[in-house]
Amino acid sequence: MSEKRNVVVGVSGGIAAYKACHLVREFTEAGDNVRVVPTESALNFVGAATFEALSGNPVDTGVFTKVDEVQHVRVGQEADLIVIAPATADVIARIAAGRADDLLTATVLVATCPIVIAPAMHTEMWLNPATQANVDTLRDRGIVVLEPAHGRLTGKDSGPGRLPEPSQIAAMARTVMDHGTFDRSLFGKNVVISAGGTQENIDPVRFIGNRSSGRQGFALADIAVNRGANVTIIAGDTDDLLSPPGATVVKVRSARQMYQAVHDAAVDADIVIMAAAVADYRPEEEAGHKLKKGHADEQLATITLVENPDILKGLVEKRNSGETSATIVGFAAETDNPLEYGKAKLARKGADMLMVNSVQGGKVFGEERNSGWLLSADGGVEEIADGTKHVVAAEIWDAIESFER
Ligand code: C5P
């Protein structure tokens, strides 16, 4: 993954153009060769000098510069990835119409590499049937149009239309570059994903917890959202992660709260993925005050534990009794014999699929990369090669989708 790749960052004329500076950094810092191609109106927001300094490459907007080098064709031919962020309603319309009246649209028209577009505009423009039809056209042609984030827009209004954060756009764009393009294969599906670790209180200041950054679960949610699913994340304790655009995030703390939230959401779910690290046991009693060291409060030295309900197993029971029809996917983090223990766990839990990763020596926790094996109830074993957690998530989704068919 170390070879230098040619990434074209297209920037069109919306206020979110300033975020493109951070996006350029995401790629240059990963070692890619970045060529920024702004539209003429993007330069009203960010100057060409800024993009030239950040990318280390010249910046042009029109098709009549460097004509001797046939630049309007060459940039697109040499690209390994084109990512346009922000993409305005106007540039989306021009690309949908097949126009080539500036360097960016000409580059898109020439390119055969993956193209990722991150729209940003006011909600009314985004929801306008003209824009939606143009977006459908681009998606039908294999271009990945990312879901816009919901939230505060430039004025006082808020709604769908915000540009996702540069790190989110970069993660999706890299996944498309490394794993290949994807379509709206999860459109209309209700997906529930648990992520992070649960925390079981001992007293008001202490708890028993499981290590988990929540990154793999959030990456699964990111991919699902952009494949068109309605996604609910049930999040325990996680690193400070950005929510995928449009996903509903339900925060919980203990295993029992997670049980309730997952089981409530599972009723209407098509797919449930338990990526959370759930504490198997909790203190039998939670003290109402801070327990004192060396005090008569012996509870601190000896904590009696009771077993938590198994959320995954409970889901399988519900599915078997017809209360949900969801496909159920579990995770297993193992320090020894991951494949052997994984197979036994899949059989014991009765899930449809299980992603096993080896966490020997703390590997995987909080890291950007993952690997392992994806087991299915019919005996299938698929090795998942080392990759970013987003690429691993894309592979898991491919497998779930073919399992469902
Ligand atoms: O048994 P173990 O904790 O290793 O199983 C891991 C899988 O089971 C994960 O998918 C995890 O989210 C799920 N799990 C659960 N409820 C528990 C413990 C684990 O759903 N109480």
Q: What's at 297, amino acid-wise?
A: D
**Is there an atom of ligand 1 within 6 Å of 276 CB?**
yes
287 in helix, strand or coil?
A: coil
CA nearest ligand 1 atom 6, residue: 332
**Is there an atom of ligand 1 within 6 Å of 255 CB?**
yes
pLDDT-based confidence at residue 28 (cuts at 50, 70, 90): very high
CA nearest ligand 1 atom 17, residue: 310
Rg (CA), the chain: 24
Q: What is the pLDDT of residues 109-135, one digit of tens each?
A: 999 999 999 999 999 999 999 999 999
pLDDT-based confidence at residue 1 (cuts at 50, 70, 90): very low
User: What is the end-to-end Cα distance of the chain in Å, rounded?
Assistant: 32
Cα(217) to ligand 1 centroid in Å equals 14
Q: What pLDDT is recorded for position 367? A: 80
Ligand 1 mutation target, pool 263, 274, 316, 358, most atoms within 8 A of CB: 274
Residue 173: left if φ>0, alpha if ψ -120 to 50, beta else—which one?
Answer: alpha
CA nearest ligand 1 atom 4, residue: 332
Between helix 89-96 and helix 129-140 the angle, nearest 10°, is: 50
pLDDT-based confidence at residue 395 (cuts at 50, 70, 90): very high
Q: What is the pLDDT of residues 365-391, one digit of tens each?
A: 778 899 999 999 999 999 999 999 999
Whole-prediction pTM? 0.95
Q: Which atom of ligand 1 is nearest to the CA of 280?
A: 21
CA 395 – CA 405 distance, rounded (Å): 16
Is residue 290 annotated as involved in ligand binding?
yes
Q: Is the Cβ–Cβ distance between 246 and 150 less than 8 Å?
A: yes
With CA atoms as reference, report the closest residue to 274 among 243, 305, 232. Answer: 232
Q: What is the mean pLDDT of residues 394-404?
A: 94
pLDDT-based confidence at residue 335 (cuts at 50, 70, 90): confident
Q: What pLDDT is recorded for position 404? A: 81
Q: What is the mean pLDDT of residues 165-181?
A: 96
Q: What is the pLDDT of residues 89-114, one digit of tens each?
A: 999 999 999 999 999 999 999 999 99
Annotated catalytic residue, options 134, 190, 210, 308: 210
Q: What is the DSSP letter of 148?
A: P
Cα(309) to ligand 1 centroid in Å equals 9
pLDDT-based confidence at residue 362 (cuts at 50, 70, 90): low
pLDDT-based confidence at residue 158 (cuts at 50, 70, 90): confident
- Annotated active-site residue 210? The verdict is yes
Is residue 310 annotated as involved in ligand binding?
yes
**Is there an atom of ligand 1 within 6 Å of 311 CB?**
yes
